[in-house]
Structure 1
Amino acid sequence: MMKNSLRRTLAEMAAVTLAICSLTACGDNNTTSSSMSNKNSIHITPEAEDMSLKSLDDEKSSDKTEASTSSSVIDTTDMFSKRDLEQSPDLTDAVSLEVSDGKTLTVTEAGVYVISGKAKNCTIKIEADKEAKVQLVLDDVDIENDDFPAIYAVSADKVFITSADGSANSLSVNGSFTADGDTNTDAVIYSKDDLVLNGTGSLTVNSAYGNGISAKDDLKITDGSYTVITAKDAFEANDSIAVCGGDFTIKTDKDGFHAENDEDSSLGYIYIAGGSFGITAASDGIQGTTYVQIDGGTFDITSSEGIEATYVQINGGDITISASDDGINASRKSDQCDVVVEFNGGNTTITMGQGDTDGVDANGSIYVNGGTINVTAQMSSFDYDVKAEFNGGTIIINGEEVSEIPESMFGEPMGGHGGMGGFGGGRGNGSEGFGTPPDGFTPPDGQSGNGFGGHRGNRGNFDKQS
């Protein structure tokens, strides 16, 4: 008991340290740095544990006690540049442009451009030198197109789209997108290069048949208010998505945030340090190919799967997920990292729908080092294929705090292996069962099974076991 208490105490201290280091990631580019290491769970060496126990017994402190702590899985050093974080642009040498029906405004030089006006079938096209930084300041812009992006960045080093203070901007494409040669321009804002969204105004994006905002390199968002309604991904990038501020209202028939690179399996990651997110998604709320790391922010996600990646790391934030498949899911999408779900801090609340669903599902391992995880699930609260470690923090399942991570727990926290017999739920191997299911529970079809605790068994009907 003493060893378990010490292990959790040290793990909680490590998790708090990590959370503090992550709090100012948006404002200070050098606050959270690490390599993309796979050593992400907290491990305490036997020597350190023995020395710590001895010091406790002797009522003495030991300066030799060591614990290796979890590190950020994403290198956030210089994640956001000074200009990324400047919400009020320098307009000293800005050029003013006004949109008009059926016209293309082409920007070919680096600089700041203030865009205003209302138009139909108008595109702001950026074709600048590969070293050019182009900033579009949207000042009450309203563009409605039939089949082509409202903003199309063909070439530049980096494109900034800034919503001017107090402005309300709207961009929409109402039909299917028309390709530009070999380029499938499938988003209302489409950039072939790095894209930054900032400012203190608002931007509404509607895409009836495609994506909302797409960057084929990196997408960064540091502030602004965004309402995005799409048939496909709301925010999409090939290399990475990094967010440290902003207010987001998203309704999508696919994913809220999606990062995926088909050519480089080390890319396609998502980092979120702050912001307010209301996401309603038919598929995933947040999906990355390699990593999803959340250090802060407030999230209200209603989706099929809440958060999905090869490696999911939660270091902070207040996260509420209502899911019909898995709340948080780690599955093999990249060979660059282990398959892991890791909690080091924050408050995560997951409510699962009926059916064969898991609150936290890892096709690898689960590490709980800190934070509070509150899962309400009729089927399985936690499911993992390799191992699970509970080193610190708080886990609540169906309203009851537990002292260990169950495997494929069925409903109420009643045992992890074998359970209490079966009312046909098919999880565990008990001998006696209940013939009546709990109120509101609908079992999946299949063969009869035993138990509702412990490991997954066969799915079953509600037959009393004898």
Structure 2
Amino acid sequence: MLTAAGCSAKTAAADQEQSQETAAEVQTETAEEDTQKEETAVQTISQNTVVSTADVTSSGLLDATDFFTERDLTQTADLANAQYITLTSGQDVNITEEGVYVFSGTVTDVTIRVEADDTAKVQLVLNGVSITNDGVPTIYVVSADKVFVTTTETENTLTVNGTFTADGDTNTDAAIFSKDDLVLNGLGTLNVNSVDNGITCKDDMKITGGTYVIHANGDALEANDSIRISDGDFTISSASDGIHAENDEDQTTGYVYICGGTFDIEASDDGIYGNLAVQIDGGTISVTAAEGIEGTYVQITGGDTDISASDDGINAAAKTTTYTPTLEITGGNLDVTMGAGDTDALDANGYIYISGGNVNISAQFAFDYDYGAEMTGGTVTVNGQQITSITNSMMGGGMGGMQGGMGPGGGMGPGGGMGPGGFGRP
């Protein structure tokens, strides 16, 4: 196991005894030259700092004003004091201190393990990395304040085969597994292939840039508290959920927020799932799944979303008690195509509100709601016919319903009081 704690990898080579044989000296010099070339190449890439923007909103269900920091949005690492590590098969790497660590190499049976102080910010820069493991994560964050996984302008591949084995009481079931905050960004490509989950974070996961190709037998992206995405190019194939946020212990977390990026999601279950909420403010999203989007409160304010589903296109269901199940569309373009049979394009176990945007539905049953629905704006087309009011396809529960609870930021959900139709707005 290699322990990296703030010293430069090239220092060890420079400190070798001068009494080595000539052949060994030449080999050492060559290794140093290769390391220096690698450093120069990476530094050249990062000379021009690349910072993306997050087109967030404060007027939606979730106030996203402070969702992303400047460092989250910076797609290149500060390499002034970086440590460069060439991976070796069968040799794990332990990161115990805050810092920037640049990795390269094609290896098997290697875990990059971060076990640092809970105030430490650690940045792992992947510069042409390929790791193939059997049953253990390729990157495992045990402890830190926040860990960044940043790709340079290279292709990187993380693969886990076999069957995952637990680390004590921790079910480490993903190619990248983090117990603390995780940020994914960069200028390159990250391929993730996993026998279970692709990337799992037990705290907040943020993605602000990079290209991601994820094939997972479990959830492709999974987090407890939140998944926040401002940019990136995603190709996702999942035998479970494409993007999944859920916290069974805290009813005010477990949400998905998207304000940018391009997504091609194929999932056997849900394309996008947030047990508290799913809010889409932007991005270009294509989902093919049993259910396209599911959450207690689903809000679409912008972006282009295309859903092909075999069960519900969008389902606002009672996954938490924080909100009354609600589907709200205030902007953007939404296209929903449903399979044959008893399927619903827009389904809410509470309310449906449409006040803006363009909605195009191709389905046997367009709307299914329990408490009420209202349309005050936007353009809605159902099977080629423009409509001006929402008709319930499958009659549900009575009027009224419970009032919405507190939102994740501590405030009430949007709206309040009685709606124009006489039913309680969450």
Q: TM-score range by the shorter chain?
A: 0.7 to 0.9
Residues 1:323 and 2:309 are matched in the alignment: yes
CA contact (8 A) 2:241 2:269 kept: yes
Task: State the SS of the aligned residue for 1:27.
Answer: coil
Give 1:346's match in structure 2, choosing from 321, 325, 332. Answer: 332
CA contact (8 A) 1:260 1:289 kept: yes
Residues 1:200 and 2:187 are matched in the alignment: yes
CA contact (8 A) 1:142 1:171 kept: yes
Q: Which runs of 5+ in 1 are unaligned?
A: 1-25, 34-70, 411-466
CA contact (8 A) 2:54 2:260 kept: no
Letter in 2 for 1:172: T
Question: 2: distance between equivalents of 1:216 and 1:175?
Answer: 23
Question: 1: distance between equivalents of 2:66 and 2:352?
Answer: 29
Greater CA deviation, 321-330 or 397-406? 397-406
Give 2:139's match in structure 1, choosing from 151, 154, 178. Answer: 151
CA contact (8 A) 1:381 1:409 kept: no
Give 1:333's match in structure 2, choosing from 313, 319, 323. Answer: 319
Q: Which residue of 2 aligns with 1:219?
A: 205
Q: Which residue of 2 aligns with 1:313?
A: 299
Q: Which runs of 4+ in 1 moved over 2 A?
A: 26-29
Number of matched pairs: 344
Letter in 2 for 1:138: L
Give 1:100's match in structure 2, choosing from 88, 91, 100. Answer: 88
Task: State the SS of the aligned residue for 1:183.
Answer: coil
Letter in 2 for 1:32: T
Q: Which residue of 2 aligns with 1:401?
A: 386
Residues 1:168 and 2:193 are matched in the alignment: no
Letter in 1 for 2:347: D
Letter in 1 for 2:170: T
Task: State the SS of the aligned residue for 2:282.
Answer: coil
Classify 1:222/1:274 alpha carbon distance in 2 versus 1 (closer, same or farther; 3 Å). Answer: same
- CA positional deviation for 1:27: 2.5
CA contact (8 A) 2:54 2:230 kept: no
Task: State the SS of the aligned residue for 1:83.
Answer: helix
Question: 1: distance between equivalents of 2:204 and 2:221?
Answer: 11
Q: Which residue of 2 aligns with 1:292?
A: 278
- CA positional deviation for 1:265: 1.0
Residues 1:271 and 2:263 are matched in the alignment: no
Identity %, equivalent residues? 56
Q: Which residue of 1 aligns with 2:369?
A: 384
Q: Which residue of 2 aligns with 1:5?
A: none
Question: 2: distance between equivalents of 1:406 and 1:136?
Answer: 52
Question: 1: distance between equivalents of 2:160 and 2:66?
Answer: 34
Give 1:87's match in structure 2, choosing from 56, 71, 75. Answer: 75
Q: Which residue of 2 aligns with 1:259?
A: 245
Q: Which residue of 1 aligns with 2:361?
A: 375
Letter in 2 for 1:127: E
CA contact (8 A) 2:57 2:281 kept: no
Question: 1: distance between equivalents of 2:53 and 2:139?
Answer: 28
Higher strand share: 2
Task: Return the TM-score normalized by structure 2.
Answer: 0.80
Letter in 2 for 1:72: G
Residues 1:127 and 2:115 are matched in the alignment: yes
CA contact (8 A) 2:269 2:289 kept: yes
Q: Deviations over 1:1-52 (max 9, x none)?
A: xxxxxxxxxxxxxxxxxxxxxxxxx7268x622xxxxxxxxxxxxxxxxxxx
Letter in 1 for 2:116: A
The root-mean-square deviation of aligned C-alpha atoms, in Å, is 1.2
- CA positional deviation for 1:260: 0.4
Task: Return the TM-score normalized by structure 1.
Answer: 0.73
